[in-house]
Chain A
Amino acid sequence: MSDVLEVALRLLAVLAAFLVLPLLVGQAEHKAMAHMQGRLGPMYAGGFHGWAQLIADGVKFAQKEDIVPAGADRRVFQLAPAVALLPYLVVLIVLPVGPNGFVGQVVDAGLFFVLAVMGVGVLGSLMAGWASANKFSLLGGLRTAAQLMAYELPMLLAAASVAMAAGTLSLPLIVEEFEWWWLPWQAVGGLVFFTAGLAELQRPPFDMPVADSEIIFGAYTEYTGLRFALFLLAEYAGIVVLCLLTTVLFLGGWHGPWSDSLGWLWTLLKGTALAFVVIWLRTSYPRLREDQLQRFAWTVLIPLALAQIALTGVVRVVAQ
């Protein structure tokens, strides 16, 4: 019975993290972006520096009418937000936060599992784009698919480089194998992975699929109320997953002073720093054009990722 209880508790903890962390990132984005642009951001909700703004937003979204356009494909339209959001919840289960089993569930081929499940989330955007019966939505869906095709490959190659370095596909074992000199060794792979991940989340400067000045809001144009909020939540959950995953793979996860007792804090701190970089990039870089976006993936990221794999292989063979 205690086994069942433990599994239930772990899943509950993951669910709580899934509900809280994206909101924290969202609030941090509100405030950091505002200050970078010489504004204050939300100041009233909740009193202290508008900390309850996103909760208020959530209440607002829940109250709005849930509209399905007359010409839309009803079932696919309604199912799409769930398909976009759930993969990130599932991925969060296997991300190790601290040493000694501080993880929802250890999966033997965890790295593969994470990358495979994260790829499924894009189906949600495609379904939304097609089912909305709106040409802007369809264009957004098309751009999403093209972007995913281009950036999935460098992401996989960079992740494969880490797996080669560590000699395992299990996420906790990868962190355990980590040494400080992996930082310079895997730096290029880390950059490629993080950049490709940003593109996969359609975050600026890779937000061509939702470019508001061209195609309104891409695949999510026709969505209102709670379903729209779910898509936004998926984006921020994606940021959390990407930052934690980059931390685990390339920044040494829980390694740091007093990692035995404070390991989880190190993981979260590194993840937070990366999340700040994600927000920072949004305020400081203009959007890439569609052809620049494709060229960047195929002519810069993929060669870099291949070079990283070659370097990893050479060092592995020489060091043995």
Chain B
Amino acid sequence: MILTAEANGFLSPNGVEIVFLLVGVVTLGAAVITVTTRQLVHAALWLVVALGGLAVEYLLLTAEFIAWVQVLIYVGSVVVLLLFGLMLTRAPIGRSPDADSENRWVALAVALAAAATLVTVVADAFRSTWIDLDRSVQGSPEVTGESLFRHWVLPFEALSVLLLAALVGAITLSRRRGADDAPASPKQER
């Protein structure tokens, strides 16, 4: 780790940093609207803006691969799943006042605590690292893949097994309920 922060100075106003801050403000704003809006589907759509803004931030930090994964998984799949669920259950146009879980203050406390922890840890860890744009890009697929499959193979495989277990668990849970209902439901329909 090179202590280049002194040489570069914090928040020196060059173009990338200004864009980074502006996108950050937009992302934060979209995230706040996501949790405060009274319209359910609007919340999901603002979540798209927040997640997309995060992808742009990754791009500005030269983590190209992570940025596209963010778009592919979160914007392309998770939000689509969310919207799918909302439409399947109940998504009225306009306000839905009954959708308030009345956990507002607890949620705020948890969010603030999480934010404080993350900001402290991240600021402490990366206080003096600086992205050198002239060297090879650190977040390119090649570099990401090498560090993932050379140094982090075991955690990667452990995560894969964990996700697989979750997948199998989800299928088992959904099928068991189906088996109980299955004999009764066709008769009722007829």
Partner of A116, one of B45, B68, B137: B68
Does A249 lie at the interface of the complex (its beta carbon under 8 Å from any beta carbon of B)? Answer: no
User: In A215-272, which residues have CB < 8 Å from any B CB?
Assistant: none
In the complex, A116 Cα to B72 Cα: how many Å?
A: 4
In the complex, A73 Cα to B83 Cα: how many Å?
A: 15
B93 and A73 within 8 A (CB): yes
Which of B76, B79, B81 counts the most chain A CB atoms within 10 A? B76
Does A281 lie at the interface of the complex (its beta carbon under 8 Å from any beta carbon of B)? Answer: no
A152 and B76 within 8 A (CB): yes
Does B113 lie at the interface of the complex (its beta carbon under 8 Å from any beta carbon of A)? Answer: no
Does A85 lie at the interface of the complex (its beta carbon under 8 Å from any beta carbon of B)? Answer: no
Does A146 lie at the interface of the complex (its beta carbon under 8 Å from any beta carbon of B)? Answer: yes
On chain A, the number of residues with a Cβ less than 8 Å from chain B's Cβ atoms is 32
Does A126 lie at the interface of the complex (its beta carbon under 8 Å from any beta carbon of B)? Answer: yes
Name the A residues within 8 Å of B93 (CB-CB).
71-73, 130-131, 133
Name the A residues within 8 Å of B48 (CB-CB).
123
Name the B residues within 8 Å of A300 (CB-CB).
none
B75 and A109 within 8 A (CB): no
Partner of A130, one of B64, B68, B91, B140: B91
- In this complex, what residue of A is CB-closest to B72? A116
B45 and A119 within 8 A (CB): no
Name the B residues within 8 Å of A107 (CB-CB).
64
Q: Mark A137-164, 1 if CB is under 8 A from B, else 0.
A: 0100110011011001000100000000
Does B155 lie at the interface of the complex (its beta carbon under 8 Å from any beta carbon of A)? Answer: no
Does A211 lie at the interface of the complex (its beta carbon under 8 Å from any beta carbon of B)? Answer: no
Name the B residues within 8 Å of A102 (CB-CB).
none
Q: Mark B133-147, 1 if CB is under 8 A from A, else 0.
A: 000010011000000
User: In A99-124, which residues have CB < 8 Å from any B CB?
Assistant: 107-109, 112-113, 115-117, 119-120, 122-123
User: In B22-43, which residues have CB < 8 Å from any A CB?
Assistant: 39, 41-42
Name the B residues within 8 Å of A126 (CB-CB).
80, 83-84, 87
Say which size band chain B's interface belongs to: 20 to 34
B87 and A138 within 8 A (CB): yes
Does A169 lie at the interface of the complex (its beta carbon under 8 Å from any beta carbon of B)? Answer: yes
- Chain B contact residues: helix, strand, loop or mixed: helix
Name the B residues within 8 Å of A28 (CB-CB).
none
- In this complex, what residue of A is CB-closest to B83? A126
Name the B residues within 8 Å of A156 (CB-CB).
72
Name the A residues within 8 Å of B69 (CB-CB).
112, 116
A142 and B88 within 8 A (CB): yes
Name the B residues within 8 Å of A113 (CB-CB).
68
A145 and B72 in contact, given A108-B141, A109-B140, A119-B77 (Cβ under 8 angstroms)? no
Does B61 lie at the interface of the complex (its beta carbon under 8 Å from any beta carbon of A)? Answer: no
Name the B residues within 8 Å of A172 (CB-CB).
none
In the complex, A161 Cα to B102 Cα: how many Å?
A: 48
Name the A residues within 8 Å of B75 (CB-CB).
116, 119-120, 123
A141 and B71 in contact, given A109-B65, A148-B80 (Cβ under 8 angstroms)? no
In the complex, A108 Cα to B137 Cα: how many Å?
A: 10
A145 and B80 within 8 A (CB): yes
Name the A residues within 8 Å of B65 (CB-CB).
109, 112
In the complex, A148 Cα to B45 Cα: how many Å?
A: 18
The smallest C-beta distance from B149 to any residue of chain A, in angstroms, reads 13
Name the A residues within 8 Å of B141 (CB-CB).
108-109, 112, 169
Name the A residues within 8 Å of B91 (CB-CB).
130
A/B interface sample: 20 pairs, CB < 8 A: A107-B64, A109-B140, A109-B141, A112-B65, A112-B68, A112-B69, A116-B76, A119-B80, A120-B75, A123-B80, A123-B83, A127-B45, A130-B91, A130-B93, A142-B84, A149-B80, A149-B81, A149-B84, A152-B76, A156-B72
> Which 5 pairs from chain A and chain B are nearest by CB?
A119-B76, A116-B72, A145-B84, A116-B71, A112-B68
Residues of A at the B interface (CB closer than 8 Å) are 71-73, 76, 107-109, 112-113, 115-117, 119-120, 122-123, 126-127, 129-131, 133, 138, 141-142, 145-146, 148-149, 152, 156, 169
Q: A145-B81, A146-B84 are in contact. List 16 more A-B contacts (CB 8 A).
A: A71-B93, A73-B41, A76-B41, A76-B42, A108-B64, A109-B141, A112-B65, A113-B68, A116-B68, A116-B72, A120-B71, A122-B80, A129-B87, A130-B41, A130-B87, A141-B87
